[in-house]
Amino acid sequence: MLVIAMLAGCAAQPTATPVPPTKVPPTADPPTKVPPTAVPPTAVPPTAVPPTAVPPTRVASPTKLLLATTTSTNDSGLLAYLLPMFEKEFNVKIDVVAVGTGQAIKLGQDGNADVLLVHARAQEDAFMAAGDGTRREDVMYNDFVIVGPEADAATVKGTKTAAEAFTKIANATAKFISRGDGSGTNTKETAIWKAANITPQGDWYVSAGQGMGAVLTMADEMPAYTLSDRATYLARKGEGLKLVILLDGPKDLLNPYGVIAVNPKKGAHIQAALATKFIDWIISVPVQEKIEAFGKDKYGQSLFAASSAPWKAAHPAP
């Protein structure tokens, strides 16, 4: 009986059925994945500036005129004498580039000058014919001189023409200094050698590639012969130059100067109006009178002779 009762008690206990856990939906949506925000640098980068094109050689300025001229007008002191008068009268600054005539004309061709004051008529005429200039006027003239040591080993003194003098220098193989720079003086020298039917070459002939002042110094130190414009020679003579004039006066040594306005089609920077004012001013009778007087007080003679059209009209030849 005891065993039966115990078995009955065991059967009365319910068997526990495992209940799977209830799946509870999340109470909130999962956070949306946000891409990381780029952190700006602590230093602010400089504002980008587009590259600036290389500026032209010239910048337009209605109060600045660029004059390309020869070393002779500069070395003689003429520019220092004349130009301040123009600057004061017109409230304009003149920048001067003093080089050989060939280089001055190249500056005009390239649009790197407003006005030219040069002395090589054939080159000036070619410049105008090519349309590089719009106006050319005669301004003044002086002459070239053949200078050398007083001993004059080549016996140049007493010759009648420049070609004859150059022939004597070549035959004696006497030292000769050429500017060799394509200047008006160098152009004249080349023409004289051609007239003499001589091609100068050898140790006696030195092509310096320098301006007139430097060439005179070289010839003085060697000593040697050279061709010079009279104005620069006299200016340097006053500073102690020992070279003497051995030939002057013949027509083949005449040295005329012209002023030319550069064509404004070369660029908007060309100061055509100022160039016109300068030309009108330098060929005017009052300024021509100043050119005529330049050098008289110091050298006892004018370094340049006036030759503009207004001057000639006011001083007709007898």
Q: Where are the domains of the chain?
A: 64-142+256-314, 143-253
Q: Is the pLDDT of residue 13 over 60?
A: no
- Beta-sheet strands, E only, within 133-175: 133-148
CATH of domain 64-142+256-314: 3.40.190.10
Residue 284 has a CB neighbour count (10 Å cut-off) of: 15
Q: Is it true that the peptide bond before 223 is cis, omega within 30 degrees of 0?
A: yes
- Supply the pTM of this predicted model: 0.74
Residues 6+ apart with CB under 8 A from 292: 302, 304, 305, 306
Q: What is the pLDDT of residue 243?
A: 98
Query: What band does 63 get if pLDDT is binned at 50, 70 and 90?
Result: confident
User: With pLDDT > 90 as the criterion, what percentage of the chain qualifies?
Assistant: 72
The pLDDT tens digits of the residues spanning 109-133 come to 999 999 999 999 999 999 999 999 9
Domains 64-142+256-314 and 143-253 share a fold: yes
Residue 271 has a CB neighbour count (10 Å cut-off) of: 24
Cα–Cα distance measured from residue 159 to residue 179, given in angstroms and rounded to the nearest whole number: 23
Q: What is the pLDDT of residue 252?
A: 86
Is there a contact between 93 and 228 (Cβ–Cβ < 8 Å)?
A: no
Between residues 152 and 49, which one has the greater pLDDT? 152
Q: Kindly tell me the burial class for residue 310, based on how many C-beta atoms sit within 10 Å of its own C-beta (0-12, 13-18, 19 or more).
A: middle
CATH topology of domain 143-253: D-Maltodextrin-Binding Protein; domain 2 (3.40.190)
In this prediction, residues 276-291 reach a mean pLDDT of 98
Instruction: List beta partners, residue 94.
Output: 65
Pick from 118, 281, 268: which is nearest to 187 by CA? 118
Q: What is the pLDDT of residue 62?
A: 73
Is there a contact between 169 and 149 (Cβ–Cβ < 8 Å)?
A: no
Q: Which has the minimum average pLDDT: 33-47, 135-149, 226-240? A: 33-47
Is there a contact between 216 and 127 (Cβ–Cβ < 8 Å)?
A: no
